[in-house]
Amino acid sequence: MAKTRKRESSTNKRRKQQEDSTDYSEVVSRIKSVDENLLEKITALFWGRTGTGKTTLIGTFPKPILILDMREEGTDSILDLGEDVKVLNVNKWIEIEQIYWYLKEGNHPFSTVALDTVSQAQNMCLSDVMEKAGKKPGELVSRGTWGTVANNMKYWLLEYRDLPMNVVFTAHDRVNEVEEEEEDEQIVPEVGPQVIPSVAKTLTGAVKIIGHTYIKEVTKKTDDGLEVSEEYRLRISPHPVYQSRIRKPKGAYAPDSIKDPSYDKLVKIMKGEYQPPKKKTKKKKEA
């Protein structure tokens, strides 16, 4: 009798599962064309040294913008945006989780959220893990502790990435030595975001744009001699040393880097609408 009831219970369970699986209307409603999926929102990682234009670039994204300032205090460059940008000074890891749930619920005005920087977020996560383990600041960090930090970082960064809005991560730069198996191969330094390698791998694989911010010195000849100026640039094409990439249609043009980068310029590249610069032709001298 007990076996018969068990079989009936299993049969009812399978029927319930089948009924649930046939209710696919919500899943089907989320099917989109590939171009809609690409530009429905932008997820990006901008990394580079302090003062190379990361925050200024954030300020070009759809507004209102919420910047989670993790002890960076680098929002002076976008003061002109006024009420279009809100800043929350984050001091503890728990606040990162709390803001996520606030944004997840959707009852907010923001179109873009920026985590500035994930390098500092990692430090907060480490402090949080150490405190919960009863360890004091300055104590030796064990491999297990770093593993917990890496798992927490990867989980929450992906959760933020999946929010239904534009999501921007920023990071400082870090040089990693890449080992080669061949003896004749040289060790090539790889420059990327300053976070745990496993976290960097997860983050760089999760976003649509990986951009390296830097300043280029430009020298021009003038009637008075040489004029030196600075250009704020964003490296976006694959590079053997610097981690950079942008998702775009196959065969579409993308420059190695762009001057004075902005959201609009990045969208054009992702749509395949960015045009290469026209080649300058020398004027023939009159006879």
Q: Could you give the domains of the chain? A: 40-178+188-271 (3.40.50.300)
205, 198 contact by CB (below 8 A): no
Give the chain's count of helices (H) and strands (E).
Answer: 9, 11
Please check the confidence at residue 107 and state whether its pLDDT lies above 80.
yes
CA distance 286 to 241: 47
Min mean pLDDT across 79-83, 166-170, 176-180 is at: 176-180
Find the length of the chain: 287
174 pLDDT higher than 70: yes
pLDDT score, position 286: 54
Q: What is the pLDDT, as a whole number, of residue 186?
A: 44
Q: Give mean pLDDT, residues 123-139.
A: 85
> 261 with 282: CB under 8 angstroms?
no
Q: What does DSSP assign to residue 133?
A: T
Q: How far apart are CA 37 and CA 39, in angstroms?
A: 6
pTM here is: 0.77
Strand 257-259 relative to strand 225-235, pairing: antiparallel
Q: Would the pLDDT of 89 be above 50?
A: yes
What's the rounded Cα separation, in Å, for the pair 172 and 203? Answer: 14
Banded model confidence at residue 182, pLDDT cuts 50, 70, 90: very low
